[in-house]
């Protein structure tokens, strides 16, 4: 299964599953100004949870980063990182670009 990224925001009331780092940055930059909270928790998919009988029990995510758009310079830092990722010739190998509605919804 390809690695996915998850972001949680609006004090945990909203979550989205995105295919790669570029999609995360695009989403945060687009939604951030309109979101109820400027804090976004970013998680990456880890090894699946294993049940006691050894079978896979589901997906697991680990906190990777906290993006706080209220922090001075944070928006500029994200834009610079996204520009650097977009300029890499092999950046499409990280996964498809964010083209439509992300998966997920209200929790």
Instruction: Extract the tokens encoding 77.
Output: 């830092």
pLDDT for 2-20, tens place per residue?
Answer: 589 999 999 889 999 999 9
Which residue in 56, 50, 58, 44 sits closest to 8, CA to CA? 44
Structural domain boundaries in the chain: 18-64
* Range in 13-17, 22-26, 85-89 with the lowest mean pLDDT: 85-89
pLDDT exceeds cutoff 50 at 97 = no
Instruction: Extract the tokens encoding 75.
Output: 């928006």
């Amino acid at each position: 299964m390809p690695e996915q990224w998850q972001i949680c925001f609006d004090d945990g009331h909203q979550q989205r599953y995105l295919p790669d780092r570029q999609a995360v940055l695009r989403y945060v930059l687009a939604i951030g100004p309109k979101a109820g909270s400027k804090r976004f928790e970013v998680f990456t998919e880890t090894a699946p949870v294993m049940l006691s009988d050894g079978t896979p029990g589901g997906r697991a995510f680990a906190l990777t980063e906290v993006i706080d758009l209220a922090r001075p310079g944070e928006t500029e830092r994200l834009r610079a990182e996204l520009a650097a990722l977009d300029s890499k010739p092999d950046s499409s190998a990280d996964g498809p670009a964010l083209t439509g509605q992300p998966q997920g919804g209200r929790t």
